[in-house]
Structure 1
Amino acid sequence: MQRVSFVLQIDESNREEYIKRHEQVDPELLQAFREVGIHTYSIFLDGGRLFAYMEVEDFDYAMAELGSHPANIRWQQFMSDLLIKHHEDTTVKVIPEVFHFKP
């Protein structure tokens, strides 16, 4: 199982809209998450910076599969007006884990 974290960015003025859109995520997308091996996925918001955390069987596989899934394509289009691209020309920037505690 992989633990993966990444950052995304929105304009702070879109904060409430971002939260609102996540109150009713398409059930087909949530099912796709399960099918590609995502066990947990959380997003935390601090100002306009989003911190996401995922536990997934294989992150690269899951992202590749989701990349062509119709529900994910619809979701990405729906969210594209809120997400700001990083300098790498992507909205998602994976960040390395530097500490993990599990008793």
Structure 2
Amino acid sequence: MQRIAFKMQLHKGFEAEYAKRHEKLWPELETLLKETGIAEYSIFLDESTLSLFGMLKMEDPLRLDELPAHPVMQKWWAYMKDIMESNPDHSPVSVPLKEVFYLA
């Protein structure tokens, strides 16, 4: 299982809304993520900078490249674009993070 970490940026004033939208994650999106091979997925918020830190585990990280083609992923991105930094295709601006330490 490989760990993948990344950061994204939330717009000011949308902390509660971001949490609310994830508390009610669409079942079809949850199914898609699990079918893609994501075993665990967490997102943390740095309240001082509004940076979001995501971490997920999966066997084959190359399968993440499949997600943009799915209509439910496109719909989720469009739903989230108003509260976070987004690319022209509405996907979140996501910066990969390099692992520098891990304690198992």
Percent identity between the two aligned chains: 38
Indicate the structure with greater helix content. Answer: 1
RMSD: 1.5
Query: Which segments of 5 or more consecutive residues in structure 2 lack a partner in the other structure?
Result: none
Deviations 1:16-70 (A, max 9, x none): 1111111101111111111111000000011211000000112222x22111111
Matches within 5 A, 1:2-81: 2-47=2-47, 48-61=50-63, 63-81=64-82
Matches within 5 A, 1:77-96: 77-85=78-86, 91-96=93-98
Matches within 5 A, 1:91-102: 91-102=93-104
Measured in 1, the distance between the counterparts of 2:4 and 2:44 equals 14
How many matched pairs? 98
TM-score where L is the length of structure 1 = 0.88
Other structure's SS at 1:74 match: helix
Query: Which segments of 5 or more consecutive residues in structure 1 lack a partner in the other structure?
Result: none
Amino acid at match of 1:3: R
